[in-house]
Structure 1
Amino acid sequence: MRAFFQASKVCISCSSVELGRRQHLLLSVNLGVLGSQLSGTDDPTTVLNSVLGAYGLPQLPGSGGFKLYDDFDQEYIFEYPRSWVGRSNSLRQGVYVSDFNTADKAVVEVFPEPSSSDLVLEVVRRAVSPGQEIGGDARLILPDERRIKTDARDIDGMRYTYIRFPSETVTRSGYQIRRKNFAVAAAKGGTVYSLVASARSDQYNKAKEELLQRVVASFRVRR
């Protein structure tokens, strides 16, 4: 019985320390500064959860609903879940928005319109292989062309190509990471604007499919 009470005191002490760390973060984190560093993100709950998650602390319930990414310096707009965190694409033009808990993400790419290669294959290649450009221990595998599904629609006088495809990453240790990808691309003035929204296959369900499709369906290039 004495051992039980001693263990309980330890648990209470640990909880107090964790609570103290969380309160310290709540008081010390400058949400305005952090928000300004995260592109397209000004939701205080999202910003705070990104900090709590980095410290391994319990997070607050995520914000619901969607938010519009509408930067007047960019030629595109789209909706994404309010709880996702965004940042500029550091390697090339575009933006990267993701759920830091599940690795769901939406990536916008901006690149010259290909003159000879197929637009669909170029969108897929850029979505699957960006990691190869900065090194790492992963081997990225392009999907078989037979598994790439496409559909084209004219919206507000502009042609949008919608693409659906799987992707796979194999690490040197043999671990396989499979993702399901939904994409859309449109060309304007010799430049292609594409958005790819994806989720890990082992976390995939109907609700996540609807979420990714909504993100892709919201993508528009300014006229």
Structure 2
Amino acid sequence: MSAPRSYAQDLPRQAADLLDRVRTGSPRVHCLMNTVVQKLVADGLSAIGAVPSMTSSVEEVQAFVRKADALVVNLGTLDAQRREAVGLALDTAAEVEKPWVLDPAHCDYSPLRAAFAQELLARGPAILRANAAEHLLLEVPSDIVGVRTGEEDRIDLSARTAMIGNGHPFMAKVTGTGCLSGAVIAAFVAIGDDRFIAAASAMLVMGVAAEIAARTMRGPASFGIELLDVLYRLSAQDIAQVARCR
């Protein structure tokens, strides 16, 4: 069997193009999101030009998903109501053919959460974004883009692969940067024609922005603020100069 082909050579240009399309197209992303990180995720989506919404109300979630261009399902702060909301949201996403991203946050901590994440994978997300421990625990169907985060992020779909070396250790010091990555992926897949390229481009944008933000930070708090500012002003030249992908 041949090794997976790398699609990274043209990725900086593609990432810059997709970021520009998000800024001009303002896709709506509905986030069933960890309640701890909702503000950071909403601010991050707004910074790149997307339009966030966050309700997990079982009475309203289907209406919000119908108006959205993409959905991200994050399993942080999971409870019975959120499980019900996820089911309703995915019913609607399937009905109106909206792409969605699964972030199985901390499924490696809880067998019940891991089982729920596996059930959700059977419902056909466009993309799975998970860290190595979460990713290895799950059986990922071959037709789903797998984004495995770590010191080097790996994006796979069948025989296609991209490796991204950008990022900064302070991403682990600010709660919600990983959750924001999942939401940015959803924004990119909402306007992208190729979900593999959309996922890889979103991860490259986040990694490059983190490295640039780290240049002027003073600590975790200022890093979080700088990250939002850099996402807002990130240019094609920034991406081309800082990108490390293969």
State the TM-score, normalized to the length of structure 2: 0.24
Which structure has more RCO (C-alpha within 8 Å, separation ≥ 6)? Answer: 2
Which one has the bigger strand percentage?
1
Which one has the bigger helix percentage?
2
Q: Greater Rg, structure 1 or structure 2?
A: 1
